[in-house]
Structure formats: C-alpha cells, structure tokens
Structure 1
Amino acid sequence: MTDPTLDRTELTALLSQQWDAIAALVADLDENGWRTSSPLPGWTVFDVVAHVIGTESWLLGEKPPAHDPNRPKTDVRTLPHVRNETAVLNEIWVDRLRPLPGARLLELFGEVTDRRRKTLESMEDAAWETPTPSPIGQVGYGRFMRVRLFDCWMHELDIADALGTAVDEGGRRGAVAFAEFAGAIPRVLAKLGKAPDGSRVTFEVTGPLARTLHIQVDGRAAYVDALDRPVTVTIRLDSGLLVRLGGGRTTADAHRDEIAISGDEELGLRLVRNLAFTI
C-alpha cells in the first residue's frame, strides 16, 4: 500500500507552505530579533534560517559562498555542537551567510525556496521514487522530502520558541512531519532508552497532534495496533513536548510536571530522558 504521506503533489505543497510559514515568522524582525538565540546550541534565529537556505541550496547542486578573506576563518569542526560530517556542512553554510543583514538573508530564503518549488513541481514520478542519499540513509527522493518537511517544521518551532511566538503545531503539515519523526521512536526506545525485551510501552500523546502509540519490544521494538499483554509503562505528554524532546531542544527533567508516567516509573523516566535522536 502506498504511504499517503509520501504523495508527491501533497508533499510538494506542504513543503511550500512550510517555507511560507518560516518566512512569515521572520518577516518583520529587526536585526536584534534576527540575532536572538535559538534552542539549538550556537545558533540564532538568523542561523536557523541560514541553515535551511544552505540545505535547499545544496539540493539544487550549489556550494556554500566563498569565505570572506576579511573575516577570521572558523574551524567549524572544533565547535562543540558539530559532531558529524552533516553538521560540518550545515555549519559551513551558516558561517558563510552569517555576515549578511537579516533582510538580505530573507531575500535569499525567498529566492532559493522559489527555485526549489519549481524543481519539485516539475519533477516526474520516476525521479520522486529514485533512491537518494539522505540524513537517514539511502531512501527514495520522496521520503527524503518528508525528512525535509520534518526538518523545516522543527525549525519553525525553533524560531517560534526563540521569539516567544505561538504557532499552529497541528494540521496536515504537522501530521506529516510528525509521521517522519514518530517512525524513529521505537528504535530510540530500544537503543537509547534501553527498553528491555518484553516491554510494552504506550504513549498517550495529547495536544495538537494527539494520538495513542503502542510499542512492543520483542527482539526489536515496533508499533502495534494493540498490545498483546498488559502495558509495562504508559507515558502521557503533549505532542509539542514530545517532538522537542526527540529533537534535543529540551530535557524531560525540565518538564517533569508535564509528563505523566504510570506503571514502571523507572523505565518511563529512562525512556523520556533518552528520546533525543535528531542530528
């Protein structure tokens, strides 16, 4: 059965809407607003938008701007938040764009996303299905674009949190982005949370992306429609908090009063304290 969240027409439209949402968030910022610290270590609101520009430019086959010889050259590999080669490339783009004023960065954002829209809209079905290197390995191009939607959606939340602005975290855009995020949760529970074999875990997710997620650990962790034995631990929390924990934007201990755990509390705490998995 075809995954409806990978439909080319819809996903292209959702990406376009996502870029518009980011642009709207920063459209009226002054320079101080652009340089507000974000939840991402070492990055401001400006840097978050520069990162999106860099990734979308890379997807168009472009390289980072040349280093300005009048600026000190940063060895991005030495930065504490740079832990892999993907992060190195991300940081180079951000570093090269950082001297620009915010207004010019917003112009560049509009230019590159317009070109990306045209590229996606003209893409044929065969190209959409072609295996492509991505942050999650070799996947079809369409799946990579769902990763892109999730990444850009998370960065919208980063910007909103930095600016103290509320945004709509639900709707179809949020649901498709969450589908990409949620696919990793079983593996994260087993690998990082060390959920023991035989565990039965239920997430009661509240808020704009409310849903119930059942996970069984039998050799490997996987979603099931219903648990085949009594639940080991039930974790109840808001969808926005769940994705921010998974994105490493905050910690469970900082929001302990917003997380309800029933059953094996020790296991539940270990799981929510070890949810961060995004690059």
Structure 2
Amino acid sequence: MVFGPVLDVRPLFRQEREELLGLLRSLSREEWSRATVCPGWDVHDVVGHVLNDYVRRISGSRDGFGGAVFANDETLPSYLARTNDEFVRAARQCSPELMVELLGHLGPELDRVWESFDLTGPAALDVSWAGPGPSPAWLDIARDYTEFWVHQQQIRDAVGKPGADRPELVHPVLDTFLRALPYTLREVARPSGTAVRVVVTGPAGGTWCAVSDDGSWRMGDGDPAATVTMRPDDLWRLATRGITVAEARERAAVQGDPALTDAVTSLLAVVA
C-alpha cells in the first residue's frame, strides 16, 4: 500500500488530552493571552480551534452532520481558514474554565467515535497532504492525533512549558507525517526501485523509506539513493511549517541524490 502499514493511534488520544488539560489548568489569565506561532491567534484561540476540531468530528462522524458548506469557488484551504476563524472568534466569548470543561467532557465521546471506525475502511475525511484520492480511516484518525499534539506543542512553546514529549506520544506524530513521503516525492521521477530514506534521531525517532514504483512512490524498503537525517523537533516543525524549508535544510544532514533530498526537506503535512 502507498501509505505503508496501518498505524493505530487511538489509545493515545486520552494520554495526549490528559497532558493538554493538565497544561491548560496550570495557565494564568496572562498566559492564556500569549501569542502563538499561529498568525493572529493567542493561546485561547488555539484552544478554541482544538475545541472546534472536537465538535466538528463528533458532529460529522457520529451524527452525520455536514456542517458549514463551501462558498462559491472556495478552495479547501480557504474554506478551512474561514470556518476555523469563525469558530475561534465565537469561542472568544467562552472562559478558559469553560473551554477546559468542554474539552474534558467531549474528549471521551470523541474517543468512542474513533473506536467505531474500521481502521482499514475509508476515511471520513481524506488526508489531502498524503495524496489525492481516498485515504484509509487509520490515516484520517492519525492525522487528527497529530493536529491535537502539534497544537498542544504550540501552546507549550507560547507559555514556555515543555511537555507531552515522551517517545510514545511523539513517535506516532513523526510516523504519520512521514506517510506523506510518497506524495512529497511525486514530482521527482526515478527508475522503479529507487529508494529514499529518512532517519529521525533520538528515542522518538526511527527510519522510514519510500520507493519509486512504476512512475509513482510508495512507502517501502530499498537501498537508498538518498538519505535525510533530522531531529524530531525539526521534522514535525517542518511538516507543519513551524520552521521554513530553508531552515530545515540547514539543520538536516543529507546524502545522495540532491533532487530527492530537496523534495524530502520540503515535506508538508498540513493543508496550506
């Protein structure tokens, strides 16, 4: 399969949420107002966005509710930017205490939604950054895990309180983002069997490989024509554009085919 083996992150949602709620309960009013890396959003706004994700997922996947519709000629990025902004603005009427209560209340219900999915069945929402066409449910679910975890890290960065950084929480984020490798390499044509390896250092890291296969790419194994080595923090920040492609290339160690290493170090795992 192009995306590689099934990744089941469902047991991790509760752990990630406990870390988030503990963090939020520790914040002062001033810290809730700290600016984040998300343009125009403070900590309160990022929490409102996470709450929007909970509400949207439960409404859509549990209740079959379509939610906001696309405007005429609206692209997916512009649709998401508009609807996310609408919810975040409305959530500014909510106290931090209420938002923490809502996340704590809705989280277990969202866990039940994830458990209802057949991991190998079709996704409720296709993962566009991993390629066009249908996505498997497991990748859709893993994509949401990465979003929740990354937003928590953005809050932690804003308030200077690191955490939720145990390898068992971080590794699945890296693993999910690197399933975008085949799509990332789509413009680089190489003979079938050509392989690209990504090595992420540290306890949360590992080794991933993509292989050219009859004009396209898939996750697989092979003798690499190029290798990119990165630290975990640099990889997830690149994938979410917390750092630029240029910054990622400065920090990475690369070997082999430069067109392949350049493609890997442009990896994007968010809708933009």
Q: State TM-score, norm by structure 1.
A: 0.75
Question: In the alignment, what sits opposite 1:204?
Answer: 199
Residue identity opposite 2:208 in structure 1 = L
Q: Is the 8 A contact 1:201 1:214 kept in 2?
A: yes
Counterparts of 2:197 and 2:137, CA distance in 1: 32
Q: CA deviation at 1:134?
A: 0.8
Counterparts of 1:4 and 1:214, CA distance in 2: 15
Q: Does 1:262 align with 2:255?
A: yes
Q: CA deviation at 1:107?
A: 2.1
Q: Over aligned residue pairs, what C-alpha RMSD do you find?
A: 3.1
Question: In the alignment, what sits opposite 2:105?
Answer: 111
Alignment equivalent of 1:276, drawn from 233, 249, 268: 268
Residue identity opposite 1:35 in structure 2 = S
Alignment equivalent of 1:187, drawn from 158, 164, 183: 183
Q: Is the 8 A contact 2:168 2:204 kept in 1?
A: no
Deviations, residues 196-250 of structure 1 (Å, cap 9, x unaligned): 42454222211232212232334112233222xxx43321111221121111121
Residue identity opposite 1:92 in structure 2 = E
Q: Is the 8 A contact 1:236 1:259 kept in 2?
A: yes
Residue identity opposite 1:90 in structure 2 = N
Alignment equivalent of 1:152, drawn from 135, 148, 153: 148
Q: CA deviation at 1:176?
A: 2.9
Counterparts of 2:83 and 2:126, CA distance in 1: 12
**How has the CA–CA distance of structure 1 residues 99 and 143 changed in structure 2, closer, same or farther, with 3 Å as cutoff?**
same
Q: Is the 8 A contact 2:181 2:219 kept in 1?
A: no
Alignment equivalent of 1:176, drawn from 161, 168, 172: 172
Alignment equivalent of 1:43, drawn from 41, 44, 66: 41
Q: Which runs of 5+ in 1 are unaligned?
A: 64-76
**Alignment size in residue pairs:** 248
**How has the CA–CA distance of structure 1 residues 208 and 92 changed in structure 2, closer, same or farther, with 3 Å as cutoff?**
farther
Q: Does 1:91 align with 2:91?
A: no
Moved more, 260-269 or 157-166: 260-269
Q: Percent identity?
A: 22
Q: Does 1:244 align with 2:237?
A: yes
Alignment equivalent of 1:100, drawn from 88, 94, 97: 94
Structure number with bigger Rg: 1
Moved more, 177-186 or 49-58: 177-186
Q: CA deviation at 1:27?
A: 1.6
Q: Is the 8 A contact 1:49 1:109 kept in 2?
A: no
Q: Does 1:57 align with 2:50?
A: no
Question: In the alignment, what sits opposite 2:228?
Answer: 235
Q: Is the 8 A contact 1:207 1:240 kept in 2?
A: no
The structure whose RCO (Cα within 8 Å, separation 6+) is larger is: 2
SS of 1:5 mapped into structure 2? coil
Question: In the alignment, what sits opposite 1:134?
Answer: 125
**How has the CA–CA distance of structure 1 residues 195 and 43 changed in structure 2, closer, same or farther, with 3 Å as cutoff?**
farther
Write out the 4+ residue segments of structure 1 that deviate beyond 4 Å after TM superposition: 1-4, 118-121, 137-143
Q: CA deviation at 1:53?
A: 0.8
Q: Which runs of 5+ in 2 are unaligned?
A: 66-70, 128-132
Q: State TM-score, norm by structure 2.
A: 0.76
Residue identity opposite 2:233 in structure 1 = G
Question: In the alignment, what sits opposite 1:216?
Answer: 211
Q: Is the 8 A contact 1:195 1:217 kept in 2?
A: no
**How has the CA–CA distance of structure 1 residues 187 and 109 changed in structure 2, closer, same or farther, with 3 Å as cutoff?**
same
SS of 1:133 mapped into structure 2? coil
